[in-house]
A and B are shown apart, each in its own frame.
Chain A
Amino acid sequence: MKTLKPLHQIIHALLLTCACLGGVGMIFVQQPDESETKPPRQRSAIDLVIGDRIGAQPRLAVPDCIAVTRDDASQSAATSMAEVLWNDLDFEREFRMVPRDTYASIDPARSITNLALDAWRELGADGVVSCAVERIREDQIRVTARLFNVRSRGSTFGVEYTGALANTRIYAHQLSDEIHRNQRGLKGIARSKIAFISDRDSTSALGLVEYRPTKEVYFTDYDGFNLRRVTVARTLNNNPAWSPNGLAIAYTAWRPYMDVIVSHIFEGRLETPANGTADAQNWLPAWSPDSSQLAFTSNRDGQPEVYVINANGTGVRRLTNHPSIDTSPTWSPQGHQLAFVSDRSGAPQIYVVGVNGTGLRRITFESHCDRPTWSPAPYNEIAYSSRTGPGHDIKVVDLATNEIRQLTFGLGTNESPSYSPNGRHIAFSSTRGTGNKQIWIVGRDGRGLRRITATGNNEMPSWSP
C-alpha cells in the first residue's frame, strides 16, 4: 500500500473538546510503535466513544464495504474487506462482534457517511465500520473507512489506503490494527505472519537413504492466508525463527549436516553465521530481541551446549557447560536472560540463566518439558511443551508467581509454542483431529482456539514481529 491518510476533518465536533483528540491524531498518522508494550487498556476516554457500558466490550458491526466502482473485482474486494476485518477484530476479543449474517434487514449505506445508524443501534451495535472500495486503475484500489459511534452519530476514526487490488486483505489487516490501537490502545497482530515447516511439497531428500521426506520453511498471514515458501533446497529444514526486526528467518537445515541458516527474505540472501562443519553442527537458532545476536545449540565441544553468536558470525561464546543435553534457547524480552532446556536432572526441564552465564535457575519440575518460548513484554512468562500423558500439552509458567497454567488438555500432542508479537496469543503444532500436525493458535488465557493450516503436516511455528 502506498498511502495512509487519516481523515481528521470528519471527527465529530464533540470529540474536538476531548483531550484525547491529540492522541487519536497522533496515533494514526504514525506507524504503530513496535517497541511500545503497554498492557491493553481496560478503559479510557476513547472507550467511552464507542460503547458506553462501562466494563462491557463495545459491540461492533462490519457490513460489506460500498463498491464505488461496480465491477466484479471491486464488489469482491468490498465484501472481502469486511469479512477479513470482522475476523481480525474478533480475533483479539476486545470487541463483541455483531455477526454478519444478522445485517440483512439493514439498508446498505448509500455513502461512507450516510448509513442507517438508528437501525444499527437497534441491532445492538455500539459502533459500525463504514467503508468503501473504489477501483482507481486496472490493478489499484482506494479504500476509505470510518468508524461511527451509533449513539453520538459521529465518526471517531477514519483512514484511506491506496494500493494494489491484490492486497485487499492487507488493507483489512491494517485497518484492524489501527482500530485496535485507536480504540483499545492495543498492538494488533493482524499484519503479522507465521513461519513454520511443512511436508506439503515433500519429496525424498537428496541422499543415500531411500524415502527421507523433506520439510521446507513456509509462512502465511496470521490467519493462514497468503502462503509463501521460503526454502527450496529439498532437504530437511526445521525450527524457523523470525528475527524481531522482521527482516530474516533463521532455521536449522541439514545440508548435509545440521547448521543454522539465516535467510534474508527480502534480499534472497543466505548466511551461515555459526559456520557449521561436520564436527561443529548447529541447530535451533533463537534471535536476541534486538536481532543482533543468535543463541543456538551446537555440538562443537563434543555435546549439545547452548552458544551465543553475533548475527554477523563473530564473537561466539558458550553459555552452558554441563555434560548433559543443553538445548532449545529463548531470550527474555530485554535480552538479559535466556531460558533453555537441559536434562541434567535426568529429564528435560527448563532453566533460566543470565546472558553472561550466571544466575542459573531451574523453572520446571515436570516429566518432560521442552521448547521454552519467552513471552514479549508486558507479560513475563514462558510457554513450553510439557508431557502430560502419551503426548504433550502447551503450558505457561508465570515467572513472577511461578504459577503454571495449562492451555491444551490432551487432545493429540501439542508442541512448539510461539508467542504473537503482542503476547496475547500462542501458535503451536497439534495432532488433534486428523492426527496430522497442524498449526493452531490459542489465546494466552486458553480461549479462542483456531487452526490455520490444513495441507500436509505443519509444525514448529514462529510468529513474526
Chain B
Amino acid sequence: MRVNRWTGVTRLLSIVVGGTLVTACVRNPPPVEPDVPPPPLAPAIEESTARPTLPSAPPSPPAIVGDDDFKFRNLEELNRDSPLRAVFFDYDSTELNSAGLSTLDHNADVLRRYATWIITIEGHCDERGTPEYNLGLGERRAVVVREYLLTLGFDAVRIQTISYGKEFPFDPGHNEEAWANNRRAHFVITEH
C-alpha cells in the first residue's frame, strides 16, 4: 500500500512539475484486456526500490506505462474489471481441467506482475447440489486452486480461500450453460 501511495505522489508531482512528462504520465491508457502482454518494464522491480525522498526534490519520472492503470484503481473498480479470471470446474468435480490450468497460468502471470496483491479465492457451485454439501465442495475447489498457485511459488499469505457453496450464482439460469458458469473459483483482490 505504501508503495502505491508513493507512486501516486510521484505521479501528482509529475503533473505539477513536468511539461511533456505530464502527457506521458496521465494519458489515458488503452482499454485493458486480460490478454494484453505484460509491459516491458517489470513494475515489481520499481515498486520494491521506490522510497519516498524529499518533496522539494523532484523525483525521477516514474516508469508508468500502458496497462499499469490497474494500480490506480480502487478495489471495487479493480474487482469489477479484474485481470484475474475465474476457473471453471466439471460437474461435482474439484479437479482442475486443462482449461482451468491455462487460466491459472494466466492468473499467475498477473499475480507475479502485481506482487503486492492479496487475493481471496472463492469456491462456488451450481444449484443442483444441496446447500450444505456445496459448502464443502466450494471449499475444496478454492483450496485446489490455492494449492496449485502455491506450487508455482506464491507466498501462502497472499492467497486466502472461502466457500460460498451455491449461495452466489454468477448466472441465474437453471440450465447446463448456467450451471457450467457457476461451478467456479472466483478471484477477488482484497489488497493491492
A residues with a Cβ closer than 8 A to B are 208-210, 212-213, 215, 236, 238-239, 252, 254, 256-258, 278-279, 281, 283-284, 297, 299, 302-304, 325-328, 341, 343, 347-348, 368, 370-371, 385, 387, 390-392, 415-416, 459-460
Contact = CB atoms under 8 A, between A and B. Distances in A.
A343 B137 CA distance: 10
Nearest to A215: B167
Which secondary structure characterizes the binding site on chain A? strand
Contacts of B133: 325, 327-328, 341, 343, 348, 368, 370-371
Interface of B: 75-76, 79-80, 92, 128-133, 135-137, 139-140, 143, 160, 162-164, 167-168, 186, 188-190
Contact of A392 (B92, B130, B168): B130
A256 B120 CA distance: 11
Contacts of A416: 130-132
Given A208-B75, A303-B140, A325-B136, A370 B162 contact: no
Contacts of B139: 281, 299, 303-304, 325
Contacts of B163: 258, 281, 283
Given A209-B79, A325-B136, A325-B140, 5 more contacts: A209-B186, A281-B162, A302-B143, A304-B140, A370-B132
Contacts of B131: 238, 415-416, 459-460
A111 to B, nearest CB: 54
Contacts of A347: 92
A390 B127 CA distance: 10
Given A348-B133, A368-B130, A415-B130, A212 B168 contact: yes
A215 B129 CA distance: 19
26 contacts: A208-B79, A208-B189, A209-B79, A209-B188, A213-B168, A215-B167, A239-B132, A281-B139, A281-B162, A284-B135, A297-B136, A299-B143, A302-B143, A303-B139, A303-B140, A303-B143, A304-B140, A325-B137, A325-B139, A328-B132, A328-B133, A371-B130, A371-B132, A385-B130, A415-B130, A415-B131
A328 B128 CA distance: 17
A213 B75 CA distance: 19
B142 to A, nearest CB: 9
B162 A254 contact: yes
Contacts of A304: 135-136, 139-140
B162 A284 contact: no
Contact of A390 (B128, B136, B162, B190): B128
B44 to A, nearest CB: 23
Nearest to B74: A208
A208 B135 contact: no
A211 B27 CA distance: 32
Nearest to A392: B130
A18 to B, nearest CB: 50
Given A208-B75, A304-B140, A278 B160 contact: yes
Contact of A208 (B128, B140, B188): B188
Nearest to B163: A258
Contacts of A368: 129-130, 133
Contacts of A460: 131
Contact of A258 (B79, B132, B135): B135
B95 to A, nearest CB: 13
A325 B165 CA distance: 13
A330 B167 CA distance: 22
Contacts of B189: 208
Contacts of A327: 132-133, 135-136
Contacts of A258: 135, 162-163
